[in-house]
Amino acid sequence: MSTPIPSLLKMENVAKSFPTPHGSTLVLRSLNLTIHSGEFVAIMGPSGSGKTTFLNLAALLDRPTSGTIHFGGQDISALNEEGMNTLRKHRIGMVFQRFCLLSHRTVLENVLFRFRYLDVPRPQALALARQALEEMSLTPHADQPARLLSGGEMQRTAIARAVATPPDLLLVDEPTGNLDRDSAEGVMHCFQNLNRRGITILLATHNPALLKYCTRSLTCRDGTVTEAPFTE
């Protein structure tokens, strides 16, 4: 008898709307979804379909207008702002389309920034940051200012920052949107390796070419998320 895979993120009847001058706009509706530990899930959809809103909810950066979200079995609606922060900084990593690096700081300092709000002793943080840079083949660039890196190197720096202390869930928003094909492939291989090491990845993209790296794909369209593969 096989052990059931535990669910990491579970959304039940989740809806999210935003207030606008012309009334409330519903961006996500009746979202029912479970993401299990170890999965590499792609969420596909055109611009404006609600992918980023979905990622923000998954990253605990936002709360749903209705419905419940469970993270690691914990109902986040029961958590206050501080509880959400704690959960986010310890268990969630994020990689952004435009890297979100601190351009005037060095590559190593950018990776060390992962520990800025964690109580990790400096020597240990330094060792973990250097290890993450090594895994992303960025050690030679450690002392370079981040602004001098190529797009692919910047994205790998952002990944190193996200995984310097391995998260349970890595949320990735359009990671190859600003990269050429070779760099994109390199970055996606990094994600694949991280997933093989047990990190659950939720990737938002509108590029179908990235599906081959994932173990599961979802489609986001008109505020709903379905298991159906994405079609243009």
Partner 1 sequence: MRWMALIYDIGEGTRAQPARVGLSFASLTIGMAALVSLLAILGGVRQKTQLMISELGVNVFGLVQPLETSRRTENSTLSRRHADTLAANLPEAIVTGIRLDDGTAAGLPDGAVLAATDETLFRVRPWRIVQGRPFDAADIRTHTRYAIASTALAQAMNLSVGSDVRLRNMTFRVIGLADIEAGTLETGDTQHAVTPGNRLLLVPWSVPPCWSVEPVPTSTRLDAIFIKGSTPASFDALIRRANSLMLQPDTAVKGISWVTPQTLIHHLMRYQRLIMLAGGAIVLLCLILGGLTLTSLLLTGVQTRVPEIGLRRALGASPADIGILFMCEALLITLSATVVGTTGAKVLMKIALSWSPLPLHFGPAVVAIPLLSGLLLGVFFSYWPARAAARISPSEALRNE
| Site residues for partner 1 per CB under 8 A | 52-53, 56, 59, 61-62, 81-82, 85-86, 88-90, 94, 96-98, 100, 102, 104-105, 113-122, 125
The span from the CA of 74 to the CA of 110, in Å, is: 31
In the complex, minimum distance from the CB of residue 52 to partner 1, in angstroms, rounded to a whole number:
7
User: At closest approach, how far in Å is the CB of 58 from partner 1?
Assistant: 11
Cβ-in-10-Å burial (0-12, 13-18, 19+) of 224 comes to middle
Of 39 and 173, which CB lies nearer to partner 1 in the complex structure?
173
Distance CA 11, CA 125 (A): 33
**Structure tokens that stand for 200 in this block:** 């659950």
Is 103 or 226 the residue whose CB approaches partner 1 more closely? 103
Nearest residue to 84 (alpha-carbon basis) of 66, 71, 100: 71
- Least distance in angstroms from the C-beta of 111 to partner 1: 12
Task: Please identify, using beta-carbon distances, which residue of 149 and 217 lies nearer to partner 1.
Answer: 149
62 versus 185: smaller Cβ distance to partner 1: 62
Cα(67)–Cα(168) distance, rounded to whole angstroms?
23
Residue closer to partner 1 (CB basis): 8 or 217: 8
Minimum CB separation from partner 1 for residue 140, in Å? 23
- Report yes or no: 106 and 146 within 8 Å, Cβ to Cβ: yes
89: tokens are: 């900084």
Q: Phi-psi category of 23—alpha, beta or left, where left has phi over 0 and alpha has psi -120 to 50?
A: left
Shortest approach of partner 1 to residue 118 CB, angstroms? 7
Q: Which of 28, 24, 4 is nearest to 16 (CA)?
A: 28
**Encoding tokens for residue 214?**
């994932």
Residue with smaller CB distance to partner 1, 125 or 214: 125
CB of 57 to partner 1, least distance (A): 9
- Judged by DSSP in three states, 52 sits in helix
